[in-house]
Amino acid sequence: MAEEKRFAVLIDIENIAPKYIELIMNEASNYGNITIKRAYGDWTRQSSSTWRGKLLDYSIIPMQQFNNTFGKNSSDSALIIDAMNILYRNNVDGFILVSSDSDFTRLAATLKEEGKVVVGMGESKTPVALRNACDYFKVLDLLYKEANKSQSAKKGQKKKSSKSKQKKEYDDEQADAQDYEAEASTDLDTIERAIISIIEANGDEDNGMYIGTLGNSLIRRYPDFDTRNYGAGKLSKFLEQFDTLQLTKDGDSTYVKLL
């Protein structure tokens, strides 16, 4: 059995809302064992009070950093210094950087150069430069919206008849798909063109391309690509919307080819 990868989660609380903490930790656990969990900010400030209540629940260590200069976010430098110290101790396989601040772009690029897996998490406002500096980037507000939509749908299932529920779900999916497309950093037309070029370059003329390989290729091109950003839970469901593609099954494997 392969050894589970170890990750450090470093959170910039001055650029991330505390409502995302459960989502952050759940997403982080998908990548491996979280051995280091730290949150950076000036914990003496009143604005940090909502974050303080979250720390014990998730065993996150608060890293105090006073803002000595007005308008300057000194926790940025503290997080960067800690990340480099952790890097050179070489006791993790990757880093999960939680911030929407472009100041961490160089840090993410440096960690990747040193062979570490870098997962970024931030809101839709996160600059493209930081997103693309990571191996993977998770857009927290889109994932938060998708998670809440799923929970609301489950609660409403018992109150609606089958026909009315199906119609509403269809209408909601159409509306949400438009919302997600507008908010996601990479629009659907760009994604579709990328899919076509990937399949043309790497796919088999008869069978097309294994769907998992296609998904990995998309993430390498667009680190913030996540089907949930577009209102689809699985890659297969996301691909079904494109008229240029056809999905086929071969046993337990799914392939996608160009029409």
Quick: pLDDT tens for 207-250: 899 999 999 999 999 999 999 998 888 999 999 999 999 999 98
Last residue within a domain, chosen from 143, 172, 204 = 143
| Ramachandran angles phi, psi of 193, nearest 5° | -60, -40
Whole-number Å distance between alpha carbons of 195 and 207: 15
Q: What is the C-alpha to C-alpha distance for residues 162 and 171, in angstroms, rounded to an integer?
A: 14
- Contact at 8 Å (CB) between 95 and 110? no
Do 10 and 122 belong together in one domain?
Answer: yes
Q: Does residue 1 lie within any of the structural domains? A: no
Q: What separation, in Å, do the N-terminal and C-terminal C-alpha atoms of the chain show?
A: 40
In a shared domain, residues 16 and 139: yes
In a domain, 67, yes or no: yes
- Say whether both 139 and 200 belong to one domain: no
Q: Are residues 123 and 249 in the same domain?
A: no
- Count CB neighbours of 31 within 10 A: 19
Instruction: Write out the residue range of the structural domain in which residue 57 sits.
Output: 6-143
Q: How far apart are CA 206 and CA 184, in angstroms?
A: 33
Looking at the structure, tell me whether residues 34 and 98 fall in a common domain: yes
Contact 245, 258 (CB under 8 A): yes
Identify whether residues 26 and 136 lie together within a single domain: yes
Name residue, tokens 């800690």: 82
Q: For residue 223, what are the contacts with CB-CB under 8 A and spacing of at least 6?
A: 120, 131, 132, 134, 135, 136, 137
How many Å apart are CA 189 and CA 86, to the nearest integer? 40
Write the CATH number for 239.
Answer: 3.30.420.610
Let me know: does 9 contact 96? Beta carbons within 8 Å: yes
Instruction: Render pLDDT for 162-217 as a digit per residue (tens, 0 to 9).
Output: 445 544 554 555 455 455 544 556 889 999 999 999 999 998 888 899 999 999 99
The pLDDT assigned to 46 comes to 82
91 in Cβ contact with 6 (< 8 Å)? yes
Residue 156 within a domain: no
Would you give the DSSP letter of residue 215?
Answer: H
Is residue 166 situated within a structural domain? no
Please check whether residues 132 and 236 belong to one and the same domain: no
Helix (H) or strand (E) holding 161: none
Read off the pTM.
0.82
- Of 143, 158, 173, the one marking the end of a domain is 143
State how many domains the chain has. 2
Residue 210 lies in a domain: yes
Average pLDDT score over residue span 30-50: 90
Name the region of 24 (left: φ>0; alpha: ψ -120 to 50; beta: rest): alpha
Give pLDDT, residue 163.
43
- Residue pair 244/196 in contact by the 8 Å Cβ criterion: yes
Out of 143, 177, 198, a domain closes at 143
Q: Are 121 and 229 within one domain? A: no
- Mind listing the pLDDT tens digit for each residue in 69-111? 544 456 688 999 999 999 999 899 999 999 999 999 999 999 9
Is 193 found in the same domain as 139? no
Are 135 and 203 part of one and the same domain?
no
CATH code of the domain covering residue 122: 3.40.50.1010
Shared domain check, 13 and 70: yes
Strands 6-12 and 61-64: unpaired
Residue 165 lies in a domain: no
pLDDT of residue 160: 56
- Whether pLDDT at 51 is above 50: yes
Whether 247 is in a domain gets the answer yes
Q: Could you give the 3-state DSSP secondary structure of residue 252? A: coil
**In a domain? residue 183:** no
Note the helical H segments in 30-114.
49-55, 75-89, 105-113
Rounded to whole angstroms, the Cα distance separating 35 from 56 reads 16
